[in-house]
Chains A and B, each alone.
Chain A
Amino acid sequence: MRAILALVMLLLLSVPALAVRPDEMLADPGLEARARTISEGLRCLVCQNQSIDDSDADLAHDLRVLVRERLTAGDSDDQVRAFLVARYGEYVLLNPVMAPHTLLLWVAAPVVLVIGGIAVVMGARRKRAAGQAALTEDEAKAIEELER
């Protein structure tokens, strides 16, 4: 872990370049826009939680060039992503795929929302049913006295 961290630091030290450079850009604005969108969803593998579109690292530069090469070669957006996943694994995707092993990740919050909603409705019903029935003896007496 530490070695990796040190490596990352070293990489950052040695590479004072910046995100997307003008010389990387494609002449075709449509293709370039697609390249940017794809880049924003790809993780720079040696960085701390940055997309290759934002990152200064050399690897990010290489990946940006690679993405543009694939696009120029006529790949669709999904084909470019699939190509990178085949090379670097799912770790490269900032937006995780929907698959059995990520199912929990995707459904956790909606499930909590739905279960919470059901619990609230059930709780409210039960409470109302109980509330209408239950008058304590003191309260009953107080009402009696008021009515008298």
Chain B
Amino acid sequence: MQSLLAAAFTGFTLFTSNPFLRLSPAPFEGQDLNPVLQDIGLAIHPPLLYTGYVGFSVCFSFAVAALISGRIDAAWARWVRPWTLVSWCFLTLGIAMGSYWAYYELGWGGWWFWDPVENASFMPWLAGTALLHSALVMEKRNALKIWTIFLAIITFSLSLLGTFMVRSGILTSVHTFASDPTRGMVILALLAAFIGGAFSLFAFRASALRAGGLFAPISREGALILNNLFLASAAVAVLVGTLYPLLLDALAGETISVGAPFFNLTFGVIMAPLLIILPFGPFLSWKRGDLVAVTQRLAGAAGLALFAAILCFALTGASVSLAPLGLLLGFWVAFGALAELVDRAKFFRTDVLTSFRRLFGLPRTAWSTALAHFGLGVTVIGIVAASAWGSEVVTTMTPGQDAVIGDHQVTFEGIDHVAGPNFVSDTGRFSIRAPGGEVREAVAERRVYNASGQPTTEAAIETYGFSQLYLQLGEPQADGKSVVRLWFKPYVTLIWLGCIVMAGAGFLSLSYRRLRIGAPKPAAARAVAE
């Protein structure tokens, strides 16, 4: 199965966009790479994402193999999980990296645009996250088999769909750097063949898979099913939002736009309950859990989260009415994750030394679960803080003039005209005085690339703790002034740091020995046989 996929995609590269084909006649001077791509990010962001996408193809192959052989059990889940995990980690890093790259390169201070291609990478991430959790249920409890297989197919399908959307030119986005309708048709054919094949196989064989393990509604399994339900719905929201304009245009000839406001609303509404139930999951025991006991054990974390959110609110006031609630959710997820570690180490119930010994003796899976969830909480806090408490100043400045943003004072020192290796640049020099009196020099550029004549802006970004001051040099005015845009983004780096923590937690879990050794024989069957 895997080699079939590899053959198809190598063929695709060779026949529709042969990299060895010579351009004839040779142009005198190349068109130059698109300037926004002339950055170290180009060397990092795509490989990370592709490792993720391609990794999910292994899960897909496993799923198809299981359907063909009709044999699927906990051992299958144990084989699939490391592949899912490693793909998920790379995809997480890839998306985070892409987000930060867009943030510093595109120069208008945004870090997520609900751009179709971002959605294309985000859908496999959502499905992959669901798969990660459902494979866990299957490995431990031998339940959710059909659903897990289905998710494995869906995750890779969404990766392929992403490839199609990006490269066919069917959607325009900031990522449309190389599109060609003929290639699009070939990808569509590949998509139809693989996905169609897998789903027909699924339809034929899924009923042959026997359902396993029983559990009460309130249990770890139940919580993980809820997780899957919400993640799948979120993926549907993103998918529909991305494709609906296309379908409506094709079927009814009406053109509409589906942009950030739609996604923020639908996605937010679905994610909020997921974040509320998230801390409960790891506390519930398998098969049947005790919600009251778990709530008691989480009371400390809830109190702490409430306190932290109220404190932030009291210190800064809120510009957006929902912001304190968002912050509360973020703190709740982060503290809830840590509460699990604290609880399992028996802090406050035994002496401190024993607790620390227990803490470091905890299995790596416990650590990675807690860390991954903690990372998510950190990202949520960053998102809420940066969107609700950020400030913006747009003004014109002459050299020597001051502008104030938040507690920072920015002085425009002057403009230099600099010739770079393949561009000319207007380099604005600024000095930024922080509240503590510390002064930093910052440089923001407007570049025009020689070969393409395309202008880009290079923003100046100064990091203060977890917050950043984002400074962009705008267009020079007739009277010698320059437009300057300033943003102060409090705790914005937490967005990406949280993602790094999540991916790190994934790698930690991957290093756990259980995943490297083979699965044991099903113990229950042996016991009965004896």
Q: How far is the CA of A12 from the CA of B454 in the complex (A)?
A: 8
Given contacts A18-B483, A21-B394, contact A128 B214 (CB under 8 A): yes
Q: How far is the CA of A108 from the CA of B230 in the complex (A)?
A: 13
**Which of A5, A22, A101, A104 meets B254, CB within 8 Å?**
A101
What residues on B are CB-neighbors of A20 within 8 Å?
394
Q: How far is the CA of A23 from the CA of B394 in the complex (A)?
A: 10
Given contacts A95-B261, A120-B225, A128-B214, contact A5 B172 (CB under 8 A): yes
Interface of chain A residues 30 through 55 with chain B (CB within 8 A): 40-41, 43, 48-51, 54
Closest to B529 in A: A138
Given contacts A19-B108, A127-B214, contact A93 B256 (CB under 8 A): yes
Contact indicator B270/A109 (Cβ below 8 Å)? yes
User: A66 contacts the other chain (Cβ, under 8 Å)?
Assistant: no
Q: How far is the CA of A2 from the CA of B257 in the complex (A)?
A: 20
CB distance from B262 to the nearest CB of A (A): 5
Q: Mark A83-120, 1 if CB is under 8 A from B, else 0.
A: 00000011111111000011011101110110011001
Closest to B109 in A: A54
User: B259 contacts the other chain (Cβ, under 8 Å)?
Assistant: yes
Q: How far is the CA of A104 from the CA of B244 in the complex (A)?
A: 9
Closest to B106 in A: A54
Q: Mark B226-238, 1 if CB is under 8 A from A, else 0.
A: 0001101110110
**Which of A21, A54, A120 meets B108, CB within 8 Å?**
A54
CB distance from A28 to the nearest CB of B (A): 16
User: B174 contacts the other chain (Cβ, under 8 Å)?
Assistant: yes
Q: How far is the CA of A27 from the CA of B256 in the complex (A)?
A: 33
**Which of A1, A13, A95, A113 meets B262, CB within 8 Å?**
A95
Q: How far is the CA of A109 from the CA of B214 in the complex (A)?
A: 28
What residues on B are CB-neighbors of A101 within 8 Å?
248, 252, 254, 256
What residues on B are CB-neighbors of A124 within 8 Å?
217
Contact size class for A? 35 or more
What residues on A are CB-neighbors of B214 within 8 Å?
127-128, 131
User: A144 contacts the other chain (Cβ, under 8 Å)?
Assistant: no
User: A142 contacts the other chain (Cβ, under 8 Å)?
Assistant: yes
What residues on B are CB-neighbors of A116 within 8 Å?
229, 232-233
Q: Mark A6-31, 1 if CB is under 8 A from B, else 0.
A: 00100011001111111101000000
Closest to A15 in B: B455
Q: How many residues of B contact A (CB 8 A)?
A: 56
CB distance from B299 to the nearest CB of A (A): 27
CB distance from B224 to the nearest CB of A (A): 11
User: A147 contacts the other chain (Cβ, under 8 Å)?
Assistant: no
Q: Mark B396-407, 1 if CB is under 8 A from A, else 0.
A: 100000000000
Interface of chain B residues 189 through 230 with chain A (CB within 8 A): 211, 214, 217, 225, 229-230
Given contacts A22-B395, A101-B254, A117-B229, contact A48 B176 (CB under 8 A): yes
**Which of A22, A50, A96, A142 meets B528, CB within 8 Å?**
A142
Contact indicator B237/A91 (Cβ below 8 Å)? no
Contact indicator B240/A49 (Cβ below 8 Å)? no
Contact indicator A105/B457 (Cβ below 8 Å)? no
CB distance from B126 to the nearest CB of A (A): 12
What residues on B are CB-neighbors of A78 within 8 Å?
none
What residues on B are CB-neighbors of A102 within 8 Å?
244, 248, 256
Contact indicator A94/B261 (Cβ below 8 Å)? yes
User: B434 contacts the other chain (Cβ, under 8 Å)?
Assistant: no
What residues on A are CB-neighbors of B217 within 8 Å?
121, 124
Contact indicator A1/B169 (Cβ below 8 Å)? yes
User: B266 contacts the other chain (Cβ, under 8 Å)?
Assistant: yes
What residues on B are CB-neighbors of A128 within 8 Å?
214
Contact indicator B181/A1 (Cβ below 8 Å)? yes
Q: Which of A18, A51, A101, A121 counts the most chain B CB atoms within 10 A?
A: A18
What residues on A are CB-neighbors of B172 within 8 Å?
5, 8, 48-49
Closest to A93 in B: B257
CB distance from A31 to the nearest CB of B (A): 16
Contact indicator B108/A91 (Cβ below 8 Å)? no
User: B429 contacts the other chain (Cβ, under 8 Å)?
Assistant: no
Q: How far is the CA of A90 from the CA of B253 in the complex (A)?
A: 12
Q: Which of A41, A96, A131 counts the most chain B CB atoms within 10 A?
A: A96
Q: How far is the CA of A128 from the CA of B230 in the complex (A)?
A: 23
**Which of B169, B225, B454 meets A13, CB within 8 Å?**
B454
Given contacts A13-B453, A93-B257, contact A49 B116 (CB under 8 A): yes
Contact indicator B256/A90 (Cβ below 8 Å)? yes
Q: How far is the CA of A91 from the CA of B253 in the complex (A)?
A: 12
Interface of chain B residues 240 through 271 with chain A (CB within 8 A): 240-241, 244, 248, 252, 254-262, 265-266, 270
User: Which 7 interchain pairs have the tightest Cβ spacing?
Assistant: A94-B259, A109-B237, A95-B261, A113-B233, A16-B455, A108-B240, A91-B255
Interface pairs (22), CB distance under 8 Å = A1-B181, A8-B172, A13-B452, A13-B453, A16-B448, A16-B475, A21-B483, A22-B394, A22-B396, A25-B394, A49-B114, A49-B174, A50-B113, A51-B260, A54-B110, A90-B254, A102-B244, A102-B256, A116-B232, A120-B225, A127-B211, A138-B528
Interface residues, chain A, CB within 8 Å of chain B? 1-2, 5, 8, 12-13, 16-23, 25, 40-41, 43, 48-51, 54, 89-96, 101-102, 104-106, 108-110, 112-113, 116-117, 120-121, 124, 127-128, 131, 138-139, 142
Given A49-B113, A96-B262, 20 new contacts (CB under 8 A): A1-B181, A21-B394, A21-B475, A21-B483, A49-B174, A90-B255, A94-B257, A94-B260, A94-B262, A95-B261, A95-B265, A105-B241, A105-B258, A109-B236, A110-B233, A112-B236, A116-B232, A121-B217, A127-B214, A139-B528
